[in-house]
Amino acid sequence: PGTRSPAGRPLLTGLTPARLEAWAQRRGLRLLRRPGSPDLAFQRPGHPTQLVRWIPRPERSLCTLALQASFEVPPPAMPRFHQALADANGAIIVGAWVLEPTGQVFFRMAVPTRGIAYDDDALDQLVDLLVQVVDGQGPALLQVASGVPMAT
């Protein structure tokens, strides 16, 4: 095993905060850190106001990537929205939609942080997958949050 991908790009063996920061910098993405927290957030590519959260889970050799939907669920819509999330989650191969008690909606997925070599293209693909699910299913979930039943 070398330090470069077959295409000659650097491999990020294991996914650490430093390696994620280096990837974000190479991509020109704004990166944020909360003081005293191991979590990172970086700008969603092409959307300067939306952030992808990176939450380390070192005890499991995983990290969670999460992207908040562009809407919140009002309390009266929460019971109906829980069913819509269950239906949406049943259609997903990787990751899950989560409704926070505050009404914030996130799509999150866990990825290994050890034993896998990530190059920039692999990290791009992970972020693209996250974005595709949010952009693909988000509009239907927004309808439910707004009071419109989800199409089956």
- Rounded to the nearest 5 degrees, what angle is found at the Cα of 30, between the Cα atoms of 54 and 46? 95
Would you say the pTM of this structure is higher than 0.85?
A: no
> Residue 128 and residue 111: Cα distance in Å, rounded?
14
Q: Structure tokens of 119?
A: 């190059």
Question: For the chain, what percent of residues have pLDDT higher than 90?
Answer: 56
Instruction: Kindly give, in sequence order, each residue whose CB lies less than 8 Å from that of residue 36, ignoring residues fewer than 6 positions away.
Output: none
Query: Residue 1's pLDDT is what?
Result: 43
At 19, the pLDDT band (50, 70, 90 cuts) reads confident
Give per-residue burial for 62-73: e unless 16+ CB within 10 Å, then b.
bbbbbbbbebeb
Average pLDDT on 80-92 reads: 93
78 pLDDT exceeds 70?
yes
DSSP string of 63-79, one letter each residue? EEEEEEEEEE--GGGHH
Query: Residue 2's pLDDT is what?
Result: 46
Owner of token pair 């990176």 = 54
**Average pLDDT over the chain, rounded to an integer:** 87
